[in-house]
Amino acid sequence: MRKFDCPSCGADVTFRSAQSVYAVCAYCQSMVVRTDVDVTSIGIMAALPDDMSPLQLGSGGYFEEQPFTLIGRLKIGWRDGLWNEWHLLMADGRRGWIGEAQGAFSISFELEGALPDDVTATFEYCLPLLKGGEGADEARPGFLLELGGTTLRAVDIKLATCLGSEGELPFAAPKGRRTVAIDCVGKEGEFATLDHDGREAHAYVGRYVEWDAFRFTNLRPLEGW
């Protein structure tokens, strides 16, 4: 864990994970980038739209008997909805994501190494959605792909826009960052999400987990619940 002074307001900006490069100052919403020892402000992140999510930065939980902490969040919007991507740090140093959409929770970790052929083909098929122009309306869910030894079905293809972020993140996620996001599910609740911002492609694999199984702690109080 490293602490720096926010270049904008002087408050503490903490980097819990050695790999975190970006953080949003909790006090002034400045987005700061960590170069080796210094931090520089790269702009102000708009306040995140409020929601009824019981999760917050600092919430803890368990996955596969290992504790984790939520250290960052992206708020994502698409034409017909919103969801949260919580960035988490596991006790063994691995970092992953909890997708929170309509009260369903998925956990996933970035696939390391070269992207499988099926993923590359999927991006080729779906990228026009991001870039517009010809074929932009062609991408339809329903096809199958092999990922990490599992057959998954693409069930959801969306053009996503970052509405804001908070906490620590492994990449800069300025407001307005657009990605094409493809959600895939397997027969036993396996989950994968593929995203491409036009320059970089990422694949995250994991599974859906029921609320109770995460054994969350340090939740945000919810009025009336």
Partner 1 sequence: MGDQTSTMPSAEPAPPTRAPARPRTFACPNCGGPVTLRAVGQSITATCSQCSSLIDVADENLNIIKTAQSAMQDAEIPIGARARLGDVEWEVVGFMRRCDGPGDFQWTEYLLFNPYHGYRFLAEEYGHWTLVKMLNRDVPGAGSQGQITAMGRTYQFFGKGFARTTYVAGEFFWRASTSDVTAVTDYIAPPYRLMVERNDEEIIVSEGEYLGARLVADAFKLPLRVPSSSSAGVSQVNPYKVSFAVIVAAVVAGTLLQFVSLAMSENNLVSAQTYNLTAADKGKTLSSGPFRLEKEGNVEIETTSYLNNDWLELDMALVNMDTNQGYPVFQALEHYSGQDSDGPWEEGGYEETSLLPPVPPGTYQLLIEPDAGLFSKAPSPVQRVAISVRHGVPVWSNYLIAMALLLVVPGFGIARRSLFEKSRWEKGGVAE
How far apart, in whole angstroms, are the C-alpha atoms of residue 159 and residue 179? 6
For residues 35 and 200, which CB has a smaller minimum distance to partner 1 in the complex?
35
Pairing type for strands 201-209 and 104-110 reads antiparallel
With CB under 8 A as the contact rule, the residue among 86, 191, 193, 203 that binds partner 1 is 191
What are the phi and psi torsion angles at 31 (to 5°)?
-90, 120
Query: Is residue 224 within the footprint of partner 1 (CB under 8 A)?
Result: yes
| Angle (nearest 5°) at CA 47 between 27 and 192 | 110
Q: Which stretch binds partner 1 (CB under 8 A): 30-38, 76-84, 107-115, 118-126?
A: 76-84
Burial class of residue 18, CB neighbours in 10 A (0-12, 13-18, 19+): exposed
For residues 134 and 199, which CB has a smaller minimum distance to partner 1 in the complex?
134
Query: Is residue 16 within the footprint of partner 1 (CB under 8 A)?
Result: yes
Instruction: Please name the residue that has the structure tokens 């909805």.
Output: 81
Query: Is residue 56 within the footprint of partner 1 (CB under 8 A)?
Result: yes
With CB under 8 A as the contact rule, the residue among 37, 47, 114, 222 that binds partner 1 is 222
Both tokens of residue 146? Answer: 């092999």
Query: Is residue 106 within the footprint of partner 1 (CB under 8 A)?
Result: yes
How far apart, in whole angstroms, are the C-alpha atoms of residue 67 and residue 59? 11
Residue ranges that bind partner 1, judged by CB under 8 A = 1-2, 14, 16-18, 26-27, 49-54, 56-58, 60, 67-69, 77, 79-82, 89-91, 93, 102-104, 106, 140-142, 152-153, 155-158, 167, 185-191, 208, 211, 218, 220-225
